[in-house]
Amino acid sequence: MFQRSSDCLTSGGRHCWRTASRRPMSMDKDMPHDSLFATPQDAIARFSFDEKVAACFPDMISRSVPGYGQITAMVGVMARRYLPEQAHVYDLGCSHGAATLALCQQLEGRVPDITAVDLSPAMIAQARQHLETHLPVEAFERIRLIEGDICTLELKPSDMIIINFTLQFLPPEQRLLVISRLHHALKPGGILILSEKITCDDPEAERILYALHHDFKRANGYSDLEISQKRTALEDVMRTDTLSAHHARLAEAGFVRHFTWFQYLNFASLIAFKE
């Protein structure tokens, strides 16, 4: 985030751009710790992005998703390279607005119009609080936060669409339609950033990466109980695709140029260009 200091406050207590420190939002010292699955639960409810999850989500995702910080930071870098002046960006499944924040940080002084969408009202509330806290007024005012369903949301022409770790929570039969709608909404030359947890085509690779991902979470302080209970909660809620399935879907939706630009264990990010 941008560092705040007493000499950088506006008259209303809000701050201006200061680039001395770009500490990721997920590393805030006052961030609530994820302990949702730390105690044994007799009945494990289906995972949902409710108030409890929203409150600790930055800690949860940074300790659970390898490469999340790098992916988020690169969204801003890609925006700086590819976005034209007076651009529009969608951040779909925005959660706390980490991608939106990274984009604003990289494009200080020429922040585009951004529409950040999430189905969870708790996530939208958290995104509003985080973005309003970490951004100058002039940047925050260019962000429109919407509680809505990306499957039915009316999309306006856009230069960049970000959909990070969101498609995996949609019913599989709706995913092609969603990607096709995103392709249609993009302007010629526009880009789609799609990040997902993936399944491997090779069963042995899947077994190895599955085990290494659990090791990653243990190294970040999660117990075997937490890992097991969260896995149960996510069953039938998050259904992952293979990289080949993602690329086939992008091609079927109309994208001619698309490739995997990042992979860390069984998490990947793809970029697709509209001709």
Could you tell me which of 99, 106, 61, 63 has the C-alpha nearest to residue 83? 106
CATH of 55-273, one of 3.40.630.30, 3.40.1160.10, 3.40.50.970, 3.40.50.150: 3.40.50.150
Q: Rounded to whole angstroms, how far apart are CA atoms 105 and 22?
A: 8
Is 68 annotated for ligand binding? yes
Is 94 annotated for ligand binding? yes
Is 218 annotated for ligand binding? no
169: number of CA atoms within 13 Å, CB side?
19
Q: How far is CA 256 from CA 42, 115, 213, 243, in A?
A: 49, 25, 32, 16
Is 149 annotated for ligand binding? yes
Q: At residue 233, what is the residue type?
A: A
Q: Rounded to whole angstroms, how far apart are CA atoms 137 and 249?
A: 39
Secondary structure letter of residue 46 according to DSSP: P
Secondary structure letter of residue 13 according to DSSP: S
Q: At residue 114, what is the residue type?
A: I
Is 50 annotated for ligand binding? no
Is 97 annotated for ligand binding? no
Q: Regarding beta strands 267-273 and 257-264, do their DSSP bridges make them parallel or antiparallel, or are they unpaired?
A: antiparallel
What are the sequence ranges of the domains in the chain? 55-273
Q: How far is CA 264 from CA 136, 140, 250, in A?
A: 33, 31, 21
| Ordered per-residue pLDDT tens for the chain, 275 residues | 333 333 344 434 444 444 333 333 334 556 789 988 999 988 899 999 999 999 999 999 999 999 999 999 999 999 999 999 999 999 999 999 999 999 999 998 899 999 999 999 999 999 999 999 999 999 999 999 999 999 999 999 999 999 999 999 999 999 999 999 999 999 999 999 999 999 999 999 999 999 999 999 999 999 999 999 999 999 989 999 999 999 999 999 999 999 999 999 999 999 999 99
Could you tell me which of 213, 201, 225, 236 has the C-alpha nearest to residue 65? 213
pLDDT in tens, 92-104: 999 999 999 999 9
Q: What is the pLDDT of residue 32?
A: 86
Q: How far is CA 98 from CA 57, 116, 130, 159, in A?
A: 11, 10, 9, 19
Q: What is the pLDDT of residue 30?
A: 63
Burial level of 113, CB count in 10 A (0-12/13-18/19+)?
Answer: middle
Is 76 annotated for ligand binding? no
